[in-house]
Structure 1
Amino acid sequence: MKQVALISPKGNIFGKNEKMISFLNGSRYMDSFRLLWSGPSLGLLTVASLLPSDWECEYIDENYKVIDFDKNYDLVCISAMSQQVLNGYRIAEEFRKKGVLTVIGGIHATVLPEEASQFVDVVMAGEAEVIWPQFLEDYESGSIKKIYSEECVGQYPLTDPIMPRYDLLKGYNYPVITIQTTRGCPHDCSFCAASKVFGAKYRRKQNENIFKELMEIKKLYPDSLILFADDNMFVKRDESKELLKEMLKIDIRWIAQTDISIAKDSELLKLMVLSGCQWVVIGFESVSYSSLYGLDKNNWKLNQLPHYAESIRKIQDYGVGVYGTFIVGLDQDSSNVFKDTADFIIENYIYGANITIPTPLPGTRLRTELELQNRILTSDWSYYTFWDVTIKPANLTADELQDGVLYIYQRICDSSAADKRLITLKKIAKRRKELINEYII
């Protein structure tokens, strides 16, 4: 029987700037943000389901558990984002010294397989369901390749998906359990590599399969908060509504990532509340017309900007909190962006907010553009946290950008803003309860 370690390397949740770390670690406002970054690695759990049934798997999240490098594993599988990947390479190096076969996958390895291949035995560049079966066949025959990749990105249909091994999470007490229902994104935002990794075609699991996963999570972790880890969950609106109707049958609490267009669909909002939605993450990106222009290829978010305030109010009036994400330091941003962003968050009573810095992730259009302009300050991936400055801003200094992000958080966390937010949270909870009571009656 083979012994396999599935390892998620330690990450850096608040970046490396000491002033930011000190402030954010002491702020309860960031509890929602911690939830978003505290879930398990679905990629590794999916790999576990693809392995032969007689192989013994151990899931190790280095944020929660110390790795035993002396344990006799036959295979060590690592999945990492860019900010984790140097830790991933370190882990692989330790096991390679002992003659253990090491494999790495995840977003970073998918877009930079040649780099990753310098530190591990095998690189998985693509979706596990597509490339792992070939690796396992080669492993059994003793003829493994250095890099396994998809012939065409985004072709795995998701019609008969592999259920992740949620049972491997026993003992971790994650604040959220993640589930993925869709892959692929047609928007090709300049700062995001999703369309390159998963393709531009939007793919979605069938409702019956999604419901099976939800029931498995409910059985194993009955009181957990569920995070739908899709970039945009409700693109296929009719199928989504049917799923939410099925979810009325089970008692769960959940959060999801989506876009602002849900505000236009009252039926969807009501079903979301009734099925257990607590809050949603929406990428506003910027409150500036000039900064939103060209951010996605169809200027979709730019066209939504005039409706942001009204849409936030409607969503929260239904009892669903809006957690907004923003990027400051875009090329058209001046020093005004910090006050404007803080004012927008406070004036619209947003449930929560995450403010980040433009980060030239591998595989993004942003990185290609900034490389041509010689504006990338470092390719030390441990700084690619979205909190640390890794580029030369166009209209700000690096220090102004770093201090400006801290200023926004200080503003939205001061006592006056906190009092307003508390009132909003109570209203959201009250409205959610009213809708649920109306449904029960």
Structure 2
Amino acid sequence: MKITFIKPNIGRMEHSLYVDQGRMEPLMLAVLAGLTPPDVECVLYDDRMEAIPLDEPTDLAAITVETYTARRAYEIAAEYRARGIPVILGGMHVSLLPEEAALHADSIFLGDAESAWSQVVEDARRRRLKPRYNGVPGVAQFGDVLPRRDLFKGKGYLPMSLMQYVRGCRFACRFCAVSQYFDRKHYIRAIDEVLREIEAQDRRFLFFIDDNIASDQKALAELCHALIPMKVSWISQASLDVTRNLPLMDLLQRAGNWGNVMGFESISAESLRETRKSPNIPGFSGYRDEVRILRDHGMQTWAAFTLGYDHDTPESIAATVDFALKSKFTFAAYNILMPYPNTPLYRKLEEQGRLLYGGKWWLHPEYRFNSAAYVPARMSPNELTAACHAARTRFNSFGSLLNRFADPKTHLRSLARIGAYWYYTLIFRKELYKKHGMRFGLH
């Protein structure tokens, strides 16, 4: 028996195919391959950088689906099904919209797949695949099975190993699909498993892809203590409230944490309250203390901003860039507020009649990446799209890169950090312009 795992691309540019130079390892597909019995052949094809050999014999196509890749994932599924090969779709988008996904597959998997993947494999072996499987969300225990990282070889992924310690987040931001998926819960993996996985691979630079590694600060402290003797460098995603725990910030620094993706979201207290971004609101004073603490601990921060709240204007978006430049963030993402399906934000905009593209922007042939998918309150959709693109362009100009680089508290602390700064900022700068306005799907 043979299973083909597929990581779909977003789509294509207007006049050419798109190759994602900033692609990271699709960790969860390697986890599923690791959970697959050894007598089953596993192959991985990544649509972001290689052609999928659709005519290659296989017994099951397992495709992971995100909202941004849904249109392309359904195209790939249709190609396999036309050849008589059964398809199972999984991933967060499938769990948020199972009825939609079921139209494009022989089977769908809801929830986290580890708890029932063995059943899927056995049913596929007997050619009795069920229409739907239900996993238990948040099962972060991989047991004694390690991800099949051998499947990543030769695919040109960024030189970091993806890991996971915590799934889910205790907060309830209105725009967040993660909070909806995990119902505000978080699940913690056994530290011994994490350490064994680190020891089983060669890289010393890690990316914990946790939804919020600081969701449980006690658990994060335990991980840091365990990582200190491992002598690794790592990054993750963390809520901003971790800066209010100075002993933990010291511990993060000692444990080799270089910085984190952090959801600043907005520099407006009104917008933070609107979106219920509770980790950022207490004592809000324009993030002066939070930025100072991050820089004092040498954190190379990736600041994530979400733009397009009902209080936002083109002027407030420009002011957000001013703040990010002054703060000398390593990276900053200026994301348009997106109505992800079945989130509180989506339901609010739907009730108000403000959704564009018939609501299902992720499938609409006219939608373009980095475009507004709803009608903002204080500007037009085109104005919001243009303001966010201008923010990305300004922040990623070469003058900005040089100005932010000259910071002894963060990027100049070591040769390794200097190298990482230029390697990643230049890659993501290039990807920024390539992805803007890209079509979803290939057809």
TM-score interval, normalised by the smaller of the two chains: 0.7 to 0.9
Partner of 1:68: 53
> Contact 1:3/1:55 (CA < 8 Å) preserved in 2?
yes
> Contact 2:3/2:58 (CA < 8 Å) preserved in 1?
yes
SS in 1 for 2:56: coil
Instruction: Give 1:248 shift.
Output: 2.6
Go from structure 1 to structure 2 and tell me whether the alpha carbon gap of 1:133 and 1:106 turns closer, same or farther (over 3 Å shift).
same
Partner of 1:321: 300
Partner of 2:85: 100
- Among 199, 202, 207, the residue aligned to 1:227: 207
Q: After superposition, give the CA deviation of every residue in 1:108-141 in whole Å (9 maximum; x if it has no partner).
A: 1111111111111111111102232333343355
Question: Could you list the runs of 5+ residues in structure 2 that have no partner in the other structure?
Answer: 416-443
Partner of 2:197: 213
Instruction: Give 1:361 shift.
Output: 0.9
> Contact 1:411/1:417 (CA < 8 Å) preserved in 2?
yes
In 2, the alpha carbon distance for the partners of 1:55 and 1:137 equals 10
SS in 1 for 2:200: helix
Partner of 1:427: 409
TM-score, structure 1 as length reference: 0.85
In 2, the alpha carbon distance for the partners of 1:319 and 1:290 equals 30
2:394 corresponds to 1:394: no
Instruction: Give 1:143 shift.
Output: 3.5
- Among 371, 380, 392, the residue aligned to 1:409: 392
> Contact 1:113/1:147 (CA < 8 Å) preserved in 2?
no
> Contact 1:154/1:184 (CA < 8 Å) preserved in 2?
no
Q: After superposition, give the CA deviation of every residue in 1:388-422 in whole Å (9 maximum; x if it has no partner).
A: 21111111101111111122223323455334302
> Contact 2:174/2:345 (CA < 8 Å) preserved in 1?
yes
SS in 2 for 1:283: strand
In 2, the alpha carbon distance for the partners of 1:360 and 1:34 equals 27
2:185 corresponds to 1:201: yes
Go from structure 1 to structure 2 and tell me whether the alpha carbon gap of 1:410 and 1:16 turns closer, same or farther (over 3 Å shift).
same
In 2, the alpha carbon distance for the partners of 1:66 and 1:16 equals 16
2:215 corresponds to 1:242: no
Alignment map for 1:35-434 (pairs within 5 Å): 35=22, 38-150=23-135, 154=137, 156=139, 158=141, 160=143, 162-175=145-158, 176-218=160-202, 222=203, 225-296=205-276, 299-303=278-282, 305-306=284-285, 308-378=287-357, 379-381=360-362, 387-414=370-397, 416-424=399-407, 426-431=408-413
Q: After superposition, give the CA deviation of every residue in 1:190-238 in whole Å (9 maximum; x if it has no partner).
A: 11111232332221012111111222233xxx36x32110111123333
Partner of 2:439: none
Instruction: Give 1:47 shift.
Output: 1.7
SS in 2 for 1:293: helix
Go from structure 1 to structure 2 and tell me whether the alpha carbon gap of 1:252 and 1:156 turns closer, same or farther (over 3 Å shift).
closer
Go from structure 1 to structure 2 and tell me whether the alpha carbon gap of 1:365 and 1:161 turns closer, same or farther (over 3 Å shift).
farther
SS in 2 for 1:77: strand
> Contact 2:112/2:138 (CA < 8 Å) preserved in 1?
no
> Contact 2:169/2:215 (CA < 8 Å) preserved in 1?
no
Instruction: Give 1:315 shift.
Output: 1.3
In 2, the alpha carbon distance for the partners of 1:167 and 1:184 equals 27
Question: Could you list the runs of 5+ residues in structure 1 that have no partner in the other structure?
Answer: 26-32, 434-441
- Partner AA of 1:74 in structure 2: D
Go from structure 1 to structure 2 and tell me whether the alpha carbon gap of 1:122 and 1:354 turns closer, same or farther (over 3 Å shift).
same
Larger displacement relative to structure 2 (193-202 or 116-125):
193-202
Ranges of 4+ aligned residues in structure 1 off by more than 4 Å? 15-18, 159-162, 382-386, 430-433
Partner of 1:3: 2
User: As a proportion of its length, which structure holds more helix?
Assistant: 1
Q: After superposition, give the CA deviation of every residue in 1:22-46 in whole Å (9 maximum; x if it has no partner).
A: xxx9xxxxxxx975xx212222122
In 1, the alpha carbon distance for the partners of 2:224 and 2:82 equals 50
In 2, the alpha carbon distance for the partners of 1:162 and 1:194 equals 25
Q: What value does the CA root-mean-square deviation take over the aligned residues?
A: 2.8
In 2, the alpha carbon distance for the partners of 1:359 and 1:161 equals 38
In 2, the alpha carbon distance for the partners of 1:416 and 1:39 equals 27
- Partner AA of 1:73 in structure 2: T
SS in 1 for 2:198: helix
> Contact 1:286/1:326 (CA < 8 Å) preserved in 2?
yes
- Partner AA of 2:374 in structure 1: I
In 2, the alpha carbon distance for the partners of 1:94 and 1:229 equals 31
- Partner AA of 1:311 in structure 2: E
In 2, the alpha carbon distance for the partners of 1:245 and 1:211 equals 12
In 2, the alpha carbon distance for the partners of 1:62 and 1:112 equals 22
SS in 2 for 1:57: strand
- Partner AA of 1:303 in structure 2: P
Instruction: Give 1:9 shift.
Output: 0.5
Go from structure 1 to structure 2 and tell me whether the alpha carbon gap of 1:161 and 1:269 turns closer, same or farther (over 3 Å shift).
farther
> Contact 1:186/1:202 (CA < 8 Å) preserved in 2?
yes
In 2, the alpha carbon distance for the partners of 1:161 and 1:394 equals 51
In 2, the alpha carbon distance for the partners of 1:72 and 1:266 equals 55
SS in 1 for 2:5: strand
In 2, the alpha carbon distance for the partners of 1:62 and 1:365 equals 31
In 2, the alpha carbon distance for the partners of 1:136 and 1:246 equals 35
For this pair of structures, how many residues does the alignment match?
409
In 1, the alpha carbon distance for the partners of 2:13 and 2:309 equals 21
